[in-house]
Structure 1
Amino acid sequence: MQTRVVRRWFAGVAVVVLATVAAGAPAAAEPAAKPVAYVNNVVVATDGPQKWASLRLLGDQQVGTYTVRVDRRDVMAFADVEPGDEPGVCTVAGAVVTCELTIDGDWGSELLSLAVTAAAGAQPGQQGELLFTVTAPDGTTGTYRSTVAVGEGVDLATERTLTLDSSLGGRVDVPLTVRNRGTKTAHGMVLYLSGSYGFTPSKRYENCEYSDPDLDSSTFACTFDNSLEPGAALRVDPTFGGTVPADSWAPNLHHSYAVWFTPADWAEFRSQSPTTGPLGPKGTDEALTLVPVGGTQARALGQTDTDTLDNETRITLTVDGDQRGDVAAEGATVTGAVGDTVEMRVGYLNNGPASAGPNGQRGLNVETIVTLPTNVTAVTAPQSCVDRDADEWQPGKPGARVYVCLARGTISRGERLSFEFDLRIDRADGKGGTVRLHTFDGAGPVKDLDPANDTAKIQVRLSGSGGGGGSLPITGASTGLLVGIGLALIAAGALGYLLARRGRLRFTV
């Protein structure tokens, strides 16, 4: 079995960036039956680095051997496209590369990557397509296309680090800059920022598109029409900054990443995501600006960065203060007769004063560990919960005895989060269950203000007539499902699995 090799488009950017850019358009031009796959587009420069055209699978993956046939004839005049570093997997016959890849259930999404470089004599503006034909283990076939283009090489650069300080409720200026280290004028640029939950933008600009504002306003991309001459530098205007929520855990440390792209490289980067559409809605505040330039120059050729290793700024924000919080487990008593299926909601209440959820390196993150009574079976479970004892990660798997549940998002004081199960009562006698909260931050386990209330009971009350199920009380109107990016968790390495699927969970006040 060949070993999957995962590659990043440029060094230094957290893998979460690919996850957060949920706006890329798949390069597949022809819909196919299973397997559903997609492949990114590639822009290379004659003096630029090697890029990768990566074919990725979507949805449930079939175990077995996939055959991938890649027709390169449309690009061979200007691009060299070769199999990667998986010896014995691919064979080459003229313009066609054929690869046999055997995968198991824990493979991941990347099926095959091909190295792409500009060929000798290539000229900016040349463009063609790679044609991928994928045959799945069950014999179904799909066809997908990757556009390969030769762009004009430019070299954008920025500072490697930016260190900031603030306090609870404070506003922080973020003086990001971009420089042109190359010999050609750069026409247009995109600033992408993936930020910590606890460091949200102070404004929402009309030339920026933001991830879902109900979930995470700290991930966004801003587009500029400025032209940047060789040796010149531009900076975001003084209105650009962030605000530390007053209910954050403190002291704290927040990490964010800012990356500058050429427009063509941004389009390539977005094509690495399977979904279409923008990151989210645009803002309504006046546009964010850079140093003004006279007019917008023509962009006859796409431009690509020849050195992407210097395009990223790691932003570190230290927040002073002394504020912690308390979360209290909430169990349930379900009522029914043997054979009944009853609804159960369990979870926790945030007693504050600090918010709970991934909010910086020291934020109070919460795993809800649900141990069911021994005389019931989970018929349905939330997609935000996994079987603690399973070998494979299967969100919402029924029939488990112990579930680990997590919903990423910030939970303010007075709000509760509940997970909804359907339980079948199998017999009259049995041991009761528990809800136990595991609280942690980026460094490991951490205690909230009252660890004594981090455990609650789950009980089964038998009725003679059956039917109906009790649950913990829910008051107020639902304010949305807690799903999101979770950059703070990933940057801290605090969680080995990510549970951010929409499922049967409730967020109430």
Structure 2
Amino acid sequence: MRSVHVTRGRLLRGLTALVVATAAVGATAGPAAAEGDPGWVSGWLGDVTVGGPGAPGRTVPLNLSSTGATEPRVTIDLAGLTGVATASFPDWCVTGGTSVTCPMPPTAVDENGTLTGVVPVVFRAAPGAADGASGTLDYTASGEQTEAYAQQATITVRSGPGLLDMVDENVSGVEVGDTRQVPVAVVNAGDQPAVDLRLTMRFAVGLVPASYRNCRYGTDQVLATVVVCTVRGTFAPGQRHELRGGLATTVGPATLGGKRITQIVEPLADAGPLPSGVRLRHREADQALRLRPVGKPLGVIPVGVDGAGGQTYLHDVRGAFDVVAQGATVTGAVGDTVHVTVGLRNEGPGVPDGTNSGDTVGAFLFTPPTGVTVLANPLGCGRTGGEDGEPLTRTWHCTGRGAVFPAGTSNTVTFDLRIDSLAGAAGEVQPSGRYPRVDDNPGNDIAPVTVS
């Protein structure tokens, strides 16, 4: 990589990726555009924080995108970083003074006519840069005859320890009963050692982590296991530390669908408040969780390692579960008001979990028998339809009770019905969606509701 010196700047927060939509590779034309249409090119580089002089370099993605443009590229003006930071670019970029021009990367990917590529930029504090110094980097994405948009990122120097989490794993083929070794890895991107750290992990419902004597465990409102560990040691600048062998995690019978395991690392002296609403307790354990140094100190932090948080994602665990519709049968005379309680029950063992999407689970649809009138809207329920001038239907939608639908629990609602006629057809209740898939006994997903 070619290194270019740059100017002054101001305080900036965590290194983040830049998303530049991609275009054509090198000096070649991009995807075909309509005649007379020059296409477009866009780019994104987020603000960056680097450690003080002597800290490892930080690799940040400058993302480029392009559709239909000829010779898409990004031009970076480094004059605003003088005395604050240096920036290094790939060999296929061209430097002239304090200006650098990078064409669409040769590794750009074409998806449906849009090129997307990443220009990795390595930032370091300039020699003698003071704590808190910051400068600006101006960049413009353009193509031949396209409209150019100037943008700016701030580069800030921050002295002190800078712990980053290095885990970003996606795992497929996981089954109930498996034990997975979840990686835990951190690196100090600052210019000073970190003494002791706090590791906070969250295991989605169904996942059971191993016990360590220097950790405390609790359960949050969506049945996830929260683990807070105090890890002693000195974490030198650039040094990668890992939990050897990973953290053993059992995939229990409640596990269902996609599951996320998150982890956050913080210097113990500067750690924030403990997770709220969770009662943490020690467990009996023979071992302590320790992070060991691995390999030589890194001179450059790789792209994608840009924050204190990391994750392991388990794709589509096909756990067993059975959600049962709960109907009702009531009797009465014409003119009477009767009460029917309908809904769903999760017989388990799997637990539908909407925490990844932010949705509630356990919602259902209720269609009353013909010949009755619903007298009021129960809380959380409303008639479907009525959009874009369409009439309201006879079906009611009732929301779920939360982000998880625990095994052995029900989501039910009581409706007040006035009997207008006893000759009507039966109604029914059923799930409003099969989440995260059709369950293992779909034959009991619909139940009748009758009034006689």
TM-score (norm 1): 0.44
- Considering only CA atoms, is the larger Rg found in Structure 1 or Structure 2? 2
TM-score (norm 2): 0.49
* Highest RCO, 1 vs 2 (Cα 8 Å, sep ≥ 6): 1
